[in-house]
Structure 1
Amino acid sequence: MAKKEGPAAETMTGGDALVRGLKTHGVDTVFALPGAQIYGLSDALAREAAAIRTIGARHEQTTAYMAYGYARASARPGVFAVVPGPGILNASAALLTAHSCNAPILALTGDVPSAFKDRGRGALHELPDQLQILRSMTKYAAHVALPEAAPGAVADAFQAMQSGRRGAAAIQAPWDFFDRQAEIAPQAPLPLLQAPEIDHDAVVRAARLINAANAPMIFVGSGALDANAEVTALAERLNAPVVSFRGGRGVVSDDHPLGFTVAAGQRLWPETDLAIVIGSRFELLDIRWRWRPKDLKIIRVDIDPAEFDRIETDVDLHADAAGGARALLCALEMGGVAPRRQALIAAAKSAAALSIQGVQPQVDYLRAIRDVLPHDGIFVDELSQVGFASIFGFPVYQPRTLISAGYQGTLGFGFPTALGAKVACPDRAVVSVTGDGGFLFAAQELVTAVQYGINLVTIVFNNGSYGNVLRDQATLYEGRLLGSELVNPDFLRFARACGVEAHRVHKPVALRPVLERALAANQPILIEVAVPRGSDGNPWPLLHPSFE
């Protein structure tokens, strides 16, 4: 029998090979900041402009945050390209954020010329053991020395990013690689690694715990973003509230009786006797709530077996969120479930809604935004007073419509991440909500929004401070302030100098009509909300409650 021939090889550069690999994997957008070591890659992208849109930026961190926002909003891999050394280090905060939030983003970067590899001669942008740094923040990182190896590296990266627990990947190559020509055969996408076969015995043990529970509660994280139907069905079968902290917001809609924020969940936590944790690190247990009910049992459903060693559990179910939730639901069809507690659940949700009203003015501003933003609109938070309040004070109705920095808490991520989300979802409303301190990490990217027609609405809450630092220094350190008070530019004049329409409001009631017009205008717009320094309500009692 004649041997089946593979796809014909073609003469191309290493840069071409990488770009062809991106096209093969369905990439339509790359975020990039060109530089000498990746000129060949940039030129390959320029020659494929009809198939792949390249969006530039004014700082490397923005390219990576845009890739993160693109991936988080769309569930498709985001791709960015920057120079090595200082360039990839500038982008590393976004790589770390993607790692913490299970977002598939691919970093493409250069390296010193092949002749200088591992010689320590101080070639331009040389970073000792750059590959090891990338490996510490990604699921997959490779040095590709020869153009012939590029298609396989791209295929490996996409397989790793999207299989199991999603995450980041990186490919680096020598400066000369990108322009070097070779005979290169294309590589088809590799199949994603299959979820493990679900352990029937573990499901049976879990079902027994569920049937014996009187007060179960479900906890979800970003690993459950694509399992909203399955988790909702399980919750309804058990009559169990579903609590999400950040990553899992919207898995069960906040307008569903069982959709709980942390503010509502903490009210039922003392009586909870079973926690079903799906696709979540369960940060609430020992980092946020820091108190465990006496007879609590824990069932954990996770695609990453490493998570099973991080907290003590009663049953571990190695499965993706949708498959695990379905398995539990099927097992329960043959048996009983916990007693129904509609009155208690409704009372907890109502009491939480009342309690958050004390966090002002943030909650009233969040309500104004929610009233205007469509249900499928995307809200990108920031490390800010209004951002912290949004964890419990901003209703979320669909998965992937609230984007946070996860446990990394990367100050300054919000505005550039929102740009990427808007690129991924140009026909949906996207709002960036940021503080004045965080916004100034990447404020120059307003010109990027203008240049590329990224019609994002950015709301800057200007309290002239790093608000959380200011509060902590005032209350914990006898009022000794250091670096927490800010002198800001006139944000309206700054935005207008960038070519962006700008408005200023002072009250929640004034924000609503301005935001409504801004979203309808479909152009880059900045809205400044003037907040007196030190006037923000304290959100932390609802994020770190005491159960004593």
Structure 2
Amino acid sequence: MARLTTGDLMARSLIANGVDTVFGIPGAHMYDFNDALAREGDKIRFIHTRHEQGAGYMAYGYAKSTGRTGVYTVVPGPGLLNSGAALCTAYGGNAPVLCVTGNIMSHLIGQGRGQLHELPDHLGTLRGLTKWAERINHPSEASEVMRQAFSVMHSGRKRPVGVEAPWDVFGMSIEADEPVAAEPLAPPRPDPDLVEKAAQMIAGAKNPLIMVGSGAIDASAEVLRLAELLQAPVTAHRSGKGIVSDDNDLAMMPPAAWKFWPQCDLLIGIGSRLELQYFRWRWFPKGLKVLRMDIDPTEMVRLKPDLGLVTDSKAGLEALITALEPKLAKRESRTGEYRALKHEAEEALATVQPQEGYLKAIRRALPRDGFFVEEVSQVGFTARMCFPVYEPRQYVTCGYQDNLGFGFNTALGVKVAHPDKAVVSVSGDGGFLFGVQELATARQFGINVVAVVFNNNAYGNVRRDQQQVYGNRLLGADLVNPDFVALGQSFGVESVRVDTRESLEAAIVTALASNAPALIEVPVPTGSDTSPWPFIHPAPPV
């Protein structure tokens, strides 16, 4: 045993649980925790950002691209609230992110005296944004609360958690043992009777479609094996992209899967909320049955399937394949049929310009093992429909939050986690300016992300909707922007402007070779982007 402060115990808990990086901004409430991190500087690095939101997004990018814990620390009150967008993204995106924050002095909590950074219910606010959150009231609780945080975060459906401590508690000390690593709860095992029923259901289907989400991200081999057995196409909307490589004949991006959909008689959802089918497509073939496999039992209540398996995707698929193989004769390859559907969809998507053409240029320039980070923008929306991905986690998405300011900041966290891999982010001009200050972080720490900014001088989607739906009454849609190249250069970041597919591809190749932070501006005439929405929300078949 040694005499350790609450801050020491928290920092050493991070290390015991495999954390090597913390993003954040120091502040008065957190000084004793910050100092504990500084004393562990040979074991854990601290990357300070220029905005709390950036710290949260970087932790998300780190977590989403690795499956490991992403950690950030901010002061309470405004610091926590500034990072709230990143926390709700981590919640929606099923990412293991840990927020470490403070509170006012312990004896003043709840008194409403107007202390620095005080909120009416700070812990309640944190709980409202996370899967679980708790306060450390005394150093004797520190190791156990941290253990619970890691256990809850990595048990079942991975989601963010929060830990706070009052200002005065961080520096309190006791004689304590070293913290130990947490163990997540074992996932639920697949029910043998339900597995047998699922195998029978699948064996009787002629045209099954497999839909994968982030819950299947660690079951790539098993998903592919099931698809091969059934000769069934596999599709994904955002987080499941790359679970089956898009250059596999059984992989279908959403527009091609939509063309297969009318003949589908069984939808097999694996670790997916089935947003694509229930919210985007909103039309179901007659007689369709739905089989779901998900570790989160609430999913079976939210969208009740014909049959649901509550289990880990990998274990569930292993059991299902074992039960299914004796029931299936070898099925003929449907490669020709699927290639034709994909070719038809690709030709249709080629009308979405200039986005589709620029995305092809990015894909050619990005190495096969590189990471692509989207953001809500005309190019980001289109990427979900047509950007090929070859491995799980290589496509980093903001999920259903679709928040401006996500892309570049998140990409920095991805790059910190994968310093030897190429990372490219795409943003619109509006979204990029939500987090432009993190160019300073990229420059200071040598985080070599290539940021591509498509500048149409507008919130493009808002502008199109106001034109088409609201009688061309424009309100807050047009933007007056800085010179992005000069802006990037003022941060010490290599910056260029390009205006063709070929020059964009060349600029990305050059930027990646330079191994330095880079900004590439792509001017797009206002209102010239073709809408990708007919492919995201296709009209039902006639």
The secondary structure found in structure 2 opposite 1:358 is coil
Aligned: 1:68 with 2:60: yes
Q: Which amino acid aligns with 1:400?
A: R
Per the normalisation by structure 1, the TM-score is: 0.97
Deviation of 1:190 (Å): 2.6
The secondary structure found in structure 2 opposite 1:177 is coil
Deviation of 1:324 (Å): 1.5
Q: Which amino acid aligns with 1:522?
A: N
1:369 aligns with one of 362, 380, 386: 362
Give the aligned partner of residue 496 of structure 1.
489
Give the aligned partner of residue 234 of structure 2.
242
CA deviations on 1:456-486 (whole Å, 9 max, x unpaired) are: 1100001101110011011111111111100
Give the aligned partner of residue 3 of structure 1.
none
Give the aligned partner of residue 259 of structure 1.
251
Q: Which amino acid aligns with 1:265?
A: A
The secondary structure found in structure 2 opposite 1:510 is helix
Residues 17, 182 of structure 2: 8 Å contact kept: no
Q: Which moved more, 1:345-354 or 1:460-469?
A: 345-354
CA deviations on 1:363-395 (whole Å, 9 max, x unpaired) are: 111111100111110000000000000001211
2:198 aligns with one of 206, 213, 235: 206
Deviation of 1:128 (Å): 1.4
CA deviations on 1:39-70 (whole Å, 9 max, x unpaired) are: 11111111111110000011000000000000
Mapping 1:160-239, distance limit 5 Å:
160-239=152-231
The secondary structure found in structure 1 opposite 2:200 is helix
Give the aligned partner of residue 516 of structure 1.
509
Q: Which amino acid aligns with 2:189?
A: E
2:414 aligns with one of 414, 417, 421: 421
Q: Matches of 1:380 and 1:112 in 2, distance apart? A: 37
**Cα RMSD after superposing both structures:** 1.1
Q: Matches of 1:186 and 1:118 in 2, distance apart? A: 32
Q: Which amino acid aligns with 1:252?
A: V
Give the aligned partner of residue 149 of structure 2.
157
Give the aligned partner of residue 110 of structure 2.
118
Q: Which amino acid aligns with 1:14?
A: T
The secondary structure found in structure 2 opposite 1:110 is strand
Residues 365, 511 of structure 1: 8 Å contact kept: yes
Q: Which amino acid aligns with 2:196?
A: V
Q: Matches of 1:95 and 1:151 in 2, distance apart? A: 23
Mapping 1:316-465, distance limit 5 Å:
316-336=308-328, 341-465=334-458
Deviation of 1:343 (Å): 3.3
1:538 aligns with one of 527, 531, 535: 531
Q: Matches of 1:270 and 1:44 in 2, distance apart? A: 59
Deviation of 1:196 (Å): 1.2
Residues 473, 480 of structure 1: 8 Å contact kept: yes
Residues 250, 335 of structure 2: 8 Å contact kept: no
Deviation of 1:186 (Å): 2.4
Give the aligned partner of residue 29 of structure 1.
21
CA deviations on 1:207-251 (whole Å, 9 max, x unpaired) are: 111111111000000111111111011101110100100010000
Aligned: 1:309 with 2:286: no
Deviation of 1:153 (Å): 1.1
Residues 302, 319 of structure 1: 8 Å contact kept: yes
Residues 234, 326 of structure 1: 8 Å contact kept: no
CA deviations on 1:137-156 (whole Å, 9 max, x unpaired) are: 22220011101211111111
The secondary structure found in structure 2 opposite 1:496 is helix
Deviation of 1:340 (Å): 5.2
The secondary structure found in structure 1 opposite 2:189 is coil
The secondary structure found in structure 2 opposite 1:159 is helix
The secondary structure found in structure 1 opposite 2:350 is helix
2:38 aligns with one of 28, 42, 46: 46
1:56 aligns with one of 43, 48, 53: 48
Deviation of 1:534 (Å): 0.6
Residues 505, 530 of structure 1: 8 Å contact kept: yes
Deviation of 1:339 (Å): 6.6
Residues 460, 527 of structure 1: 8 Å contact kept: yes
Aligned: 1:145 with 2:149: no
Give the aligned partner of residue 271 of structure 2.
279
Deviation of 1:449 (Å): 0.4
Q: Matches of 1:360 and 1:193 in 2, distance apart? A: 48
Q: Matches of 1:139 and 1:402 in 2, distance apart? A: 24
Give the aligned partner of residue 13 of structure 1.
5
Q: Which amino acid aligns with 2:487?
A: F
Q: Which amino acid aligns with 1:22?
A: L
1:473 aligns with one of 455, 460, 466: 466
Q: Matches of 1:407 and 1:61 in 2, distance apart? A: 18
Residues 214, 339 of structure 1: 8 Å contact kept: no
Residues 132, 161 of structure 2: 8 Å contact kept: yes
The secondary structure found in structure 2 opposite 1:31 is strand
Mapping 1:131-142, distance limit 5 Å:
131-142=123-134
Q: Matches of 1:169 and 1:366 in 2, distance apart? A: 35
Per the normalisation by structure 2, the TM-score is: 0.98
Residues 189, 312 of structure 2: 8 Å contact kept: no
Deviation of 1:194 (Å): 0.7
Q: Which amino acid aligns with 1:484?
A: A
2:284 aligns with one of 292, 300, 319: 292
Structure 1 outlier segments of 4+, above 4 Å: 337-340
Q: Matches of 2:438 and 2:334 in 1, distance apart? A: 50
The secondary structure found in structure 1 opposite 2:300 is helix
Q: Which amino acid aligns with 1:102?
A: N
CA deviations on 1:272-292 (whole Å, 9 max, x unpaired) are: 100010000000222100111
Q: Which amino acid aligns with 1:293?
A: P
Q: Matches of 2:176 and 2:430 in 1, distance apart? A: 48
Q: Matches of 2:500 and 2:472 in 1, distance apart? A: 28
Give the aligned partner of residue 97 of structure 2.
105
Q: Matches of 2:36 and 2:184 in 1, distance apart? A: 27
Residues 148, 185 of structure 1: 8 Å contact kept: no
Q: Matches of 1:204 and 1:127 in 2, distance apart? A: 52
Q: Matches of 1:295 and 1:326 in 2, distance apart? A: 27
CA deviations on 1:514-545 (whole Å, 9 max, x unpaired) are: 11010011000100001111111110000000
CA deviations on 1:476-518 (whole Å, 9 max, x unpaired) are: 1111111110000000111111010100001111111111010
The aligned length equals: 540
Q: Matches of 1:408 and 1:188 in 2, distance apart? A: 35
Q: Which amino acid aligns with 1:44?
A: A
Q: Which moved more, 1:311-320 or 1:436-445?
A: 311-320
Deviation of 1:350 (Å): 1.3
Q: Which amino acid aligns with 2:17?
A: H
Aligned: 1:88 with 2:111: no
Q: Matches of 1:370 and 1:429 in 2, distance apart? A: 12
CA deviations on 1:347-375 (whole Å, 9 max, x unpaired) are: 21111111110001111111111001111
The secondary structure found in structure 2 opposite 1:483 is coil
The secondary structure found in structure 2 opposite 1:532 is coil
**Identical-residue share of aligned pairs (%):** 51
CA deviations on 1:89-118 (whole Å, 9 max, x unpaired) are: 110111110011110000000001012011
